[in-house]
Amino acid sequence: MLRKKQKNNAKLLKVPKGEYLINKEEKSNILLSLVVPTLEEKENIVILLERLMVLLDSKIPNQYEIIVVDDDSDDRTWQKVAKIANDYRQIKIMRRTSEKGMATAVIRGWQVAKGKYLGVMAGDFQHPLEPLLQMLSMIETDADVVVASRYVRDSKFMGIRLQRRLISKSARILGCLILPKVARKIKDPLSGYFLVKREVLNGITLHPLGHKILLEVLARGRVNKVAEIGYVFGARQKGVRKAKSKSYMQYVLHLFKLQITSWPLPRIGKWVLVGISGFAVDMFMFFILLQFTNLPLTLSAFLSAEIAIINNFFWNDRWTFGDLASKEPPLPFLYKKGMRFWKFNMICLSGLILHTLIVRWFVFDYDFDPYVAKVITIIIVSIWNIILNFRFSWNVPSQHEEISRKD
Ligand SMILES: Nc1nc2c(ncn2[C@@H]2O[C@H](COP(=O)(O)OP(=O)(O)OP(=O)(O)O)[C@@H](O)[C@H]2O)c(=O)[nH]1
Ligand SMILES: [Mg+2]
């Protein structure tokens, strides 16, 4: 039974401008701010809000707000909500006329939200209400994000056409291929139904694209623990279906954008400069050994390469990754430095072997010009060295993690 009406003169919420920065919440008794993005949901929104209020009043009365963000729907969904907001203080409405898109709508809602926990769910009843209370109790534990998932135990698709299920599945696989570090954190990285602790996003600027907001939160937020809960994803009963092909393209673009912006470019820049110094040391030592010692050619080549590896390790550990290394407690410092040098050496030496094999392969098996083969091989082996050393020798955080740690 809905709590008795409290008359108030609900105004449309002001639409924030500028970047999608989530700020610290103001002091309020609001625990949960649930954003419902809507586009042409006139037939669904009223019932949905009523049922949501009954549900949340039973658990957290006066401690929640539901913010509907409507992109100026032709069916005037926002007007319907404004009417309800007049009667129920916990219902808020934002009408966007200049911006469009589900993901940006959600963030604009979060930007004006007062709650400690930020949530999102669809306004078309494809997301059932029941899991919400359990998600609320789970977010109050150590989970940073609680996701209603279509790919864990107790979850299933109900009445969803095969084509749509295949699209959703293929999108998931694509996510794991292009953005493994993020998409593999959970089974349903494309879910549009989840709660997140605000402190995970405080001070972070999100860069949403298209339809999927959870990926942004997982990639850029300070997310350590994610929990998933199964639910039945049902077909849309009422209202108009929205176009999907465009949002699929946007999704793929979003994956690449998140992948590329996660690369620690400043460090890669330093790494390349150190690599160039290593090349100079290698050539110079090779010349010295050939000119002034009787060492055989292969040994001279190997020794000069090894001296270059030591040079590169010295400068990378001191300059490229100095800040990471310095964070380690003093005592194991030398041991850890030794371990890093060992890993770096093994990866670079295996790179050298790979180098020799690939050049031979290109020249003898594919008649490549030796110099072309050499240049291609240097690029391949450099990528090999960067990926493996960033991952295993220095365990470099993604650019997103670095940014989120700073804020
Ligand atoms: N504000 C806003 N909401 C949107 C937009 N696109 C979809 N929504 C809402 O976002 C919620 C979830 O949308 P989806 O279910 O993913 O997509 P859909 O477009 O509803 O697709 P179908 O459910 O298959 O019709 C629904 O409440 C939509 O009304 C948009 O561009 N702007
Ligand atoms: Mg839908």
> Across the chain, what does the average pLDDT equal?
88
By the 8 A CB rule, do 72 and 95 touch? yes
Domains of the chain from N-terminus onward: 20-260 (3.90.550.10), 265-404 (no CATH)
What's residue 48's pLDDT?
97
Rounded to the nearest angstrom, the distance between the alpha carbon of 350 and the centre of ligand 1 is: 50
What's the confidence (pLDDT) of residue 7? 53
CA distances from 146 to 150, 196, 217 (A): 13, 6, 12
The fraction of the chain above a pLDDT of 70, given in percent, is 93
Position 354 pLDDT exceeds 80: yes
Ligand 1 site, residue 399, Cβ cutoff 6 A: no
Which one-letter amino acid corresponds to residue 110?
W
Q: What is the DSSP letter of 243?
A: P
Contact 5 CB / ligand 1 (< 6 Å)? no
- The yes-or-no verdict on residue 1 having pLDDT over 80 is no
Share of the chain above pLDDT 90, in %: 48
Question: What's the confidence (pLDDT) of residue 8?
Answer: 54
pLDDT digits (tens, 9 = 90+) for 119-163: 999 999 999 999 999 999 999 988 999 999 998 888 888 877 888
Q: Work out the angle at residue 58's Cα, subtended by the Cα atoms of residues 53 and 61, and round it to the nearest 5 degrees.
A: 70
Which amino acid type is present at position 115? Answer: G
Per-residue pLDDT of 67-91, as tens digits, reads 999 999 999 999 999 999 999 999 9
Ligand 1 pocket, mutate which of 13, 35, 39 (most atoms under 8 A from CB): 39
The lowest-confidence range among 51-65, 105-119, 328-342 is 328-342
Question: Residue 68 forms beta bridges with which residues?
Answer: 36, 93
Residue (of 278, 274, 267) closest to 396 by Cα position: 267
pLDDT at 124: 93
Q: Say if CB 44 and CB 123 are below 8 A apart.
A: yes
Q: Whole-prediction pTM value? A: 0.82
Closest CA to 198 of 137, 145, 147, 120: 145
- What are the Cα distances from residue 363, in Å, to 357, 368, 402? 10, 5, 42
Which candidate, 269, 119, 291, places its Cα nearest to that of 192? 119
Per-residue pLDDT, 327: 62
Say whether pLDDT at 330 is over 80. no
> Tokens 């570090």, residue?
181
Q: If DSSP codes are grouped into helix, strand and coil, which group holds residue 233?
A: strand
| Nearest ligand 1 atom to alpha carbon 101 | 31
161 lines ligand 1 (CB under 6 A): no
Distances (CA, A) of 23 to 195, 196, 197, 205: 17, 14, 12, 9
Q: How many angstroms separate the CA atoms of 283 and 171, rounded?
A: 47
The Cα 109–Cα 96 span in angstroms is 10
pLDDT value for 177: 85
Q: Which residues pair with 69 in a beta bridge?
A: 37, 94
Tokens, residue 140? 């109050």
Poorest-confidence range of 41-55, 239-253, 258-272? Answer: 239-253
- Nearest Cα residue to atom 24 of ligand 1: 241
Question: What pLDDT does residue 372 have?
Answer: 87
Give the pLDDT score at 264: 84
* Residue 379, pLDDT score: 86
Mean pLDDT, residues 187-213? 92
Determine if ligand 1 sits within 6 Å of the CB of residue 208: no
Q: Is residue 244's pLDDT more than 80?
A: no
Q: Is the pLDDT confidence value at 365 over 90?
A: no
